[in-house]
Amino acid sequence: MSEEIYETACKHAHGRTNRQPHPADLLHVSLLLVDEFDKPPYELKPRIEAAVGSISARPLKVRLDGCDLYGGERHLALTGGGNSVDIQAFARMLHRALTKHNLPRQAFRLPSPHVTIIYGYGRRELLIVGKPYVWLASEFALV
């Protein structure tokens, strides 16, 4: 599916921006902003691994059926799934695990799942999503 999303982003970008779509192998669903760091927080790795290891959940249905601008309206992203009860419950579970392991985290907000497809897009013209992208997510990572 990542190849399909990438190809769609390439077609949309052609003639609209000189920015290249994010490569298919690096596409990921952003669910929850943990915190911002100036450099990788390697010292937190043991607590991050413990927090991630403490979570067990069944696969979640992800549905991306829209498009919007993120990051101060600089980045083009596929959107959707924010109203999924399962995704909201998983995000709460993740936030609790971060809290329990005393990891940096921002105040909990309802998730806004999205896949950024063009960073630094520089346009206001959104991609029209025809057929929704739908799959079961069975793994996650803190990035």
pLDDT digits (tens, 9 = 90+) for 42-57: 999 999 899 989 999 9
Provide the 8-state DSSP code for 15.
T
Query: Which residue matches tokens 């029209």?
Result: 128
pLDDT band per the 50, 70, 90 thresholds, residue 19: very high
pLDDT for 39 equals 92
Instruction: Kindly report the average pLDDT of the chain as a whole number.
Output: 90
Q: Which helix (H) or strand (E) holds 94?
A: helix 85-100
User: What's CA 32's distance to the chain center, in Å?
Assistant: 7
